[in-house]
Every structure is written in C-alpha cells, then in structure tokens.
Amino acid sequence: MEMFLGYFNLAAAFFVIISMVMMLGRLLGGPTLYDRLLAVNSFGTKTILFLCVFCFVINRPDGVDIALLYALMNFIATIAVLKYFNYRSLGVPLIEEQMEDSV
Amino acid sequence: MMMSLILAAASSADQGASLNIDWIGLFRTILSCASMLTGIFFVMAGTLGVLRLPDFYTRLHAAGMTDTLGAELVILGLIIQSGFTQMSLKLLLVAFFLLLTSPTATHAIANAAYKAKLNPKLGKYTAPSVDGDGS
C-alpha cells in the first residue's frame, strides 16, 4: 500500500507540473496585465501544491515549510504588483482620506 | 484497482492469521486517493479554463474558483495520508492560508481590472432583436 501511494503521489505531482506548464502559456501570451497577474497567482498556488505533494514522494517533511513560505509570499507579491500598477508607486498608503477623490 | 489494494493490504499485514486485512489503512488510502483525484481534476479544469475562455473575467472565474477548491482538496488528501503527525499540522496551516489568501487575491485582481476600466467581452450572446430579423 505504501508503494501504491508513492506511485499515486508521483502521478499527482506529474499532473500538477503539466498544469503549471499550461499556465505558462497564459502567462507569456496574456493580452492584458491582469491576465498575466492571474496566471502568476495561479502558478504560485500550483507551486505550493507541487511542493506539498513532492515532499510526500521523496518522503522528507521539509518541503511543507517552504510551501508555507510560498503561500505567504505569493499573496504579498500579488497585492504589491497590483498596488504598484494602480498608483505607480509603492509608497502610497492604501487607506487614506484623499484617495477617495483621486481614484 | 480495488482488488490490488486489498491484496497489498493483506500482504503488508501480519502473516500469522490467514487473511488479516488492514481495514483502516485501506479506508484511509481510498479516501485520500479520491480526494486527491477530485482536487487534481479541479486544478486541471481551472487551467484549461484559463487557457481557453475568451475573456479576462471568465478566466478569472475559472482560475479563482477551481484553484481554491482544487488546492484545498489535494491538501486534504495529503492530510488524510499523513495521519496525526507534525506534518499534517503544517499542511493544515498551508490549507488555512490558502483558504484565506486565494479568494482575497482573486478579488483584488478583479477589483483592479474593474477600476482600470477593462471591459468584459460582450456581444456573442446578446438577446435576439425585437424586430424579428431572425437569429
């Protein structure tokens, strides 16, 4: 049963890799900026999945910590890129009174 | 597949009895495989939707919804595989952060695209005209 689960996890990791490669198509050929951002966000989620599955394949529990780090970093990177392209600067606070008129 | 699983469970169990099947391990394996298969199906469907759908907002719908559910199901299958260990606690933490951040990031991207006046693609599925010009 252990061997079956090992092969099953390997197949799952393979399909996640295929899904990541297909997501690269939208990342490279997206018409707008937001398509690319969506592809980057989805690619990060699939990276987390691949790390979690692959450290079950190689039987080492270290990769889950890195997956946790990626889960935090992916969200912050998406929000930072969105904020930069909205305000053209990273120094603008998101909650401010005067932002209501300018947006 | 079921017969091979049962045979593997019987061979991995103690050899003293005649047919000693590890029922709990078998049940855990089947549950984990079903959950992971459903999750992988959702992940692949979301990726196909992102590649094939015609518009940004429809792509956002495909990616945002199916990625959240697919990732949660795959991590749930891994939690069932690992049992009560330290690893399952870390996986639970990863699932919690994904559940918190993935819909928020999707909403932020949709809101930014809407504020930047990115128009949805209309016109392919309009209502038929009142004049009766046909189709």
Inter-chain touch A34–B90, beta carbons under 8 Å = no
Separation of alpha carbons B68 and B62, rounded Å: 10
Measured in angstroms, the CA of A38 and the nearest CA of chain B are apart by 7
Cβ proximity of B106 and B60 under 8 Å:
yes
Number of CB atoms found within 10 A of residue A62's CB: 10
pLDDT at A99: 52
Inter-chain touch B94–A52, beta carbons under 8 Å = yes
Separation of alpha carbons A89 and A83, rounded Å: 8
Domain coordinates of chain B in residue numbers? 24-115
Q: Specify the amino acid at residue B40.
A: I
Measured in angstroms, the CA of B130 and the nearest CA of chain A are apart by 35
Domain coordinates of chain A in residue numbers? 2-102
Q: Specify the amino acid at residue B12.
A: S
State chain A's mean pLDDT as an integer: 85
Q: Which residue's entry shows tokens 């993935």?
A: B102
Separation of alpha carbons B39 and B33, rounded Å: 10
pLDDT at B135: 43
- pLDDT tens, residue by residue, B54-112: 888 888 989 888 889 999 999 999 999 988 888 899 999 999 999 999 999 999 999 88
Number of CB atoms found within 10 A of residue B122's CB: 8
Segment holding A42, helix H or strand E: helix A33-57
Closest by alpha carbon to B5, among A101, A4, A103?
A4
Inter-chain touch B43–A25, beta carbons under 8 Å = no
* DSSP class of B125: T
For range A3-15, the mean pLDDT: 90
Radius of gyration of chain B (CA): 23
Measured in angstroms, the CA of A98 and the nearest CA of chain B are apart by 17
pLDDT at B133: 47
pLDDT at A96: 58
- Closest residue of chain A to B27, computed from CA coordinates: A1
Phi, then psi, of B84 in degrees rounded to 5: -90, 80
Which one of A34, A47, A69 makes the best mutation probe of the B interface by having the most chain B beta carbons within 10 Å? A34
A39 touches chain B (CB under 8 A): yes
